[in-house]
Amino acid sequence: MPKTSQFRTFAIEKILKATLKFPSEQGLSAITLRKLLVPASKLLPVNRSLHFKKLHLAGMSCEEIKIRNEAPTQMIFHIHGGAFFLGGLDSHRGLMSDLVTYTKAQVLHLDYPLAPEHPFPYALDLLFAAYLEILQQGIEPKDITLSGDSCGGNLALALCLKLRDEKLPLPSGLILMSPWLDLSLSGESLKFNAKQDALLSEQLLKQGIEYYITDDSSIDEPYVSPLFANLSGLPEILIQVGSKEILLDDAKRLKEYVDQAGGKATLSIYPGMWHNFHMFNHWVEQAKQALVDIARFVDHVDR
């Protein structure tokens, strides 16, 4: 990696640790953390040359993003991250526009209801209804790639499991970026990468669990911690994670368990990268490469 790129990566890590990770370790309320996320989101570039359209599915606000005057052959149905209580259309608009730019696909970005106002299974049920709604509109399952980052990866995998269990049509592929799949927090990387991960803290994950799980559900339920579900009969999966992530073991174990279940999964570990590094692709070469790899995967499942 050229020295200029190394310096940019180092600088971004320092900034993220000070502005986002440190506040996440202070036990601040959901409302306060959401307010802190607003100015940070505005720093991520958005490709305004794309076509943006507001939609509603299953009662949720959504944003359709695609290249103007083109007819994409694949739809990316994306579920954003944020420990189940943060994030939305604004926080991830930059990454979504980058996904369109790299893949040439149409992205459907869903603003699902957050915890603690709406704990499990509220979001999953609405995402399930939204997926069925786009099928009813005539979108073929083979033309849909399901995608999610962080806890959105959890919801994306849980949605696939629910569709399989209900014997409903599955998407052509599944993309999981820095996925959080184990709410029991049993992965060893939570400890050995605690100081390395520039963005995510164990404290924030515990806060998300407290908000997301009620007395009516359990951490070991398949739709809550999909890492421990029966993982057979799923579409092909692309798993991307950074080597410095506290969730590294979630990604590694998912690959292992999918292989054991007879499925097909590709695990890509990007050296020196932190949680949700994809969002910083305008400055970080490894993040650009991850989006190139996603574009190849989308093209592969589309064929």
Active site residues per annotation: 150
| Rounded CA separation 268/99 (Å) | 17
List residues bridging with 173 in a β-sheet: 145, 236
The alpha carbon of residue 117 and the mean position of all alpha carbons in its chain are separated, in whole angstroms, by: 21
Backbone angles phi, psi at 21, to 5 degrees: -70, -45
- CB of 87 closer than 8 Å to CB of 37: yes
- Cα 113 to Cα 7, 10, 54, 142: the distances in Å are 38, 34, 16, 27
| Rounded CA separation 294/276 (Å) | 14
